[in-house]
Structure 1
Amino acid sequence: MARKNCTHIGGQAVLEGVMMRGKGVMATAVRDPYGEIQIDTERFKQPSEKNVFFRIPIIRGVVNFFSSMVVGMKTLTKTAEVYGDDIDEAPSKFEKWLAKTFKIDIMQVAIAIGIILGVLFAVGIFIVAPVYITKGIFKNIDLSGQTPFLQSFYPNLTAGLLKLVMFILYILLIGQMKDIKRLFRYHGAEHKTISAYEKGLPLTVENVQKQTTVHDRCGTTFIIIVFSISLIIFSFVKWHRLGIVNALIRIALLPLIMGVSYEALKFFAKFDNWFVKILKAPGLLMQKLTTKQPDDQMVEVAIVAFNKVLEMEANPDLENEKFILFTPITKAKLELEKILQGSRKNEVDLIIMDVCNVSTKSELAKITRLDDEKMTKAKEIAEKCKNGMPLQYASNTAHFYGIKLYVDQNVLIPRFDTELLAEQVIKYVGEQKGLRILDLCTGSGAIALAIKNNIPSSNIVVGTDISAKALEIANKNANDLNLDVSFMKSDCFEKIEGKFDVIVSNPPYIKTEDIKSLDSIVRDYEPTGALDGGEKGLDFYTIIANEYKKYLTKGGVLMLEIGIDQLEDVKALFKDEKIDVVYDYNNPPIARVLIINENEDKAQM
């Protein structure tokens, strides 16, 4: 007999892709809804490696059949997660209870149930139904004049042929479904790719497309061999009057039939002479129904899967790859809105902008999907917000004057109003060089870092705070932004040495009695020490007013942010100095920044 070159790599068509399986290696390639080819790989031990018993002919066929069924279900589930929109629904309370109580993976249970239902369906359609139809056919046919062999042979033959007809009708029926049509085309791509490799051709789309869509070792051929061998075996099995007995006998003999069929398939695949071609013909003919001509993109997917198996077999140290799951942006927004509910739904866009690291709505508009990692993070942020936490703390992110800062509950969330203070310092410095700038009560370092980021690098910026945890965050932000700002622990001017050309501060300025009436999103989460300005809200302004001149160079400037209705009270603390007031952009405008210069007339006295 003429031997044929036969690779050990086999495959399976899956939803919008192909799975290729080698010796201990499996690679699944899928073209996702966005046109990109994704890869999922896995290393495994073959049944024959786990137990010598599984290497015995016939038995190995049964084991491989059920193993392939399990792998096929798992692979289909994985690919459905990549391509489907409804796969990532949250587990029900019952599913969560099962997982927690019995320490089981719900997905594994779902796969097991799917396999069981699939087997029951196949047994019902292709074993039980043909038996009872045959029983009905021969109910009024008298076979008593036939030999005992023929009395069983005719019903067994009829049941076998009915089973084959029902299988063909089943394939024709499901073949009309859009997704199954595409599955059959990927089936063709899988066969073409393997055939090209077995012929020693480079795996290019052009070479692969020249091959036939049928292949000797196809699962469809295996099923036809199963039908054929079952006809032979059942020819020697007595036909009983009770249909259930006939059905049970067929179920009991099914493992033997599968094992023998597996050995026959492996044998036929190795040879390519006229005799073997005759034996293969029915299976190859049936493949005309289950394989269709693929397009070039489908072939590309099959080639990627096949090459990945070769690559992993050649390099045992190559790590596994996993599918990246995506959620369409519209669905992502709906899921986040469902979590947030109420008035905080308007934060959905901000959450997505944060996890996608974009800062404008125009950039957000270009986002069409979220990968699994980003979607998981977005949901975690939404859950925290749902419980009342400010978005900035939930995401550990705050944007301030063009820079992105890390924040947590150890520091005050930088407000957009405070950008006006930073802007005034930046305008004042302009193109000047060599100035020294001090930021009191720096918190997250927002003001100091924004200033440093927008002035000539030769200027020195120092930030101080009494909170060690706040200073850790400020230093982290400086490192993340690669900005040279020095931070030190000091209670206002307590440990300050030397003089500065600019002193800037956004100190705590809320009256102690007003803290309890603040919105819960502020009162319950932001550090009280960064809010509480004492009985009148002026404690820190008073300290600064009494001490700042010792640390301000001649001609230097002090800039302060003030709260609503604090203008006159704070001005009174600096009554002998020249004060400019900067108003914000509200309507009507609110006094927000005081720029304090030493009174020139007083300086000359």
Structure 2
Amino acid sequence: MTNPTIKEAIDSITPQVIESGSYPEDIAFLLGERLNYSPTQLKLNQESELSESQYRQFKADVKKLIQGQSPQYILEYSYFYGRKLTVNSDVLIPRYETEELVAFVTSDYQRQSTGKLLDIGTGSGAISLVLSQELSSSWEISASDISQEALAIAKTNFKSHGCEIKTIKSDLFKAIEGRFDVIVSNPPYIKTTETAVMDETVLNNEPNIALFAGVDGLDFYREFAKYVDDYLNPTGAFYLEFGYEQKEALRALFGHYLPNYDITFKNDLAGHPRMMRGVKQ
């Protein structure tokens, strides 16, 4: 008995994946990654027969997908800003929107030869890793997280990409010492009341501590706004990602706690306000 072709394998399992509530496009993504094919290569080779080991891996991956696992956790890696990063359920899967936050920081500091930067809630280390490579090599980069398990993943990624980044176990600023030129974070900002409208794959796989921030989703920002000035150099700046409906609430919050800061909001590529920068006036 011969094994199925790529097309036959995908077509045969698609109805079950749809019925499970998972995304059918993830089937092709997983298979393409296992075969080291781009989406175009996968289509061009769709009549190619899978080997025994390839088909066995395909069935194992799809079983996990049907059970509700995220494809990145199945593969144990994800892509961010052109880098391949190790991920597991201890860390948030890096999002494309966060690449725009990295680009925001890079555009402001790519010509500055040196400085100190802190990435709060680093998770997989995606933000600090990319910034350590996009900014001048003289920058001193630190990455903090409340989770020791997340820091272990970050350290793995830093090592595999040859990055010298200091890691700190800290609940926001509690274990942070010194001042920085840049503080950046993609913090938890989802309301605890929004679970009913969230993707089940996210709820069932990704760490709640990296997702939720109280009834209004602003718990992190309140604590951050209270103390960030104590950790920034006089000409320093902070950069934050937030939910697209939180702009006005954050404008009021930071206006209250940091009236002497110039706050700038930036839209993402979809036109939604998703990033902010604060600079002391």
TM-score, length basis structure 2: 0.89
Cα pair distance change 1:350/1:563, threshold 3 Å? same
* Mapping of residues 86-125 of structure 1, within 5 Å: 86-88=1-3
Provide the C-alpha distance between the structure 2 equivalents of 1:534 and 1:553, rounded to a whole number of angstroms: 30
Q: Hey, what does 2:277 align to over in structure 1?
A: 595
1:344 maps to which of 3, 23, 29: 23
8 Å CA contact 2:235, 2:280 repeated in 1: yes
1:437 maps to which of 117, 126, 136: 117
Provide the C-alpha distance between the structure 2 equivalents of 1:483 and 1:371, rounded to a whole number of angstroms: 38
1:418 correspondence with 2:101: no
SS at 2:33's partner residue?
helix
Give the drift of 1:87. 3.2
SS at 2:24's partner residue?
helix
Q: Which amino acid aligns with 1:593?
A: M
Cα pair distance change 1:435/1:364, threshold 3 Å? farther
1:528 correspondence with 2:205: no
8 Å CA contact 1:545, 1:574 repeated in 2: yes
Provide the C-alpha distance between the structure 2 equivalents of 1:353 and 1:451, rounded to a whole number of angstroms: 29
Q: Hey, what does 2:264 align to over in structure 1?
A: 580
Which is helix-richer, 1 or 2?
Answer: 1
1:289-329 deviation line (CA, Å, top 9, x unaligned): xxxxxxxxxxxxxxxxxxxxxxxxxxxxxxxxxxxxxx643
Give the drift of 1:350. 0.8
Give the drift of 1:598. 0.8
Give the drift of 1:463. 0.9
Provide the C-alpha distance between the structure 1 equivalents of 2:149 and 2:229, rounded to a whole number of angstroms: 29
* Mapping of residues 201-600 of structure 1, within 5 Å: 328-337=5-14, 340-342=17-19, 344-358=23-37, 360-365=38-43, 367=45, 368=48, 370-575=50-255, 576=259, 577-586=261-270, 589-599=271-281
Select the structure with the greater relative contact order (CA < 8 A; seq sep ≥ 6).
Answer: 2
SS at 1:487's partner residue?
strand
Cα pair distance change 1:466/1:335, threshold 3 Å? same
Report the count of equivalent residues.
273
Which is strand-richer, 1 or 2?
Answer: 2
8 Å CA contact 1:339, 1:383 repeated in 2: no
SS at 1:456's partner residue?
coil
Q: Unpaired runs of 5+ in structure 1?
A: 1-85, 89-326, 600-605
Provide the C-alpha distance between the structure 2 equivalents of 1:426 and 1:364, rounded to a whole number of angstroms: 34
8 Å CA contact 1:516, 1:523 repeated in 2: no
8 Å CA contact 1:336, 1:378 repeated in 2: no
Give the drift of 1:369. 5.6
Give the drift of 1:336. 4.7
8 Å CA contact 1:515, 1:532 repeated in 2: no
Cα pair distance change 1:352/1:559, threshold 3 Å? same
8 Å CA contact 2:241, 2:275 repeated in 1: yes
Give the drift of 1:408. 1.4
Give the drift of 1:332. 3.8
SS at 1:344's partner residue?
coil
Q: Unpaired runs of 5+ in structure 2?
A: none
Runs of 4+ more than 6 Å apart: none
Q: Which has the larger radius of gyration?
A: 1
8 Å CA contact 1:442, 1:464 repeated in 2: yes
Cα pair distance change 1:375/1:555, threshold 3 Å? farther
TM-score, length basis structure 1: 0.43
Provide the C-alpha distance between the structure 2 equivalents of 1:455 and 1:372, rounded to a whole number of angstroms: 45
SS at 1:546's partner residue?
helix
SS at 1:438's partner residue?
strand
Provide the C-alpha distance between the structure 2 equivalents of 1:486 and 1:381, rounded to a whole number of angstroms: 35
Give the drift of 1:528. 1.1
Q: Hey, what does 1:65 align to over in structure 2?
A: none
Give the drift of 1:514. 2.0
Among all aligned residue pairs of Structure 1 and Structure 2, give the percentage whose two residues are the same amino acid: 34
Cα pair distance change 1:395/1:430, threshold 3 Å? same
Give the drift of 1:596. 0.8
Give the drift of 1:540. 0.7
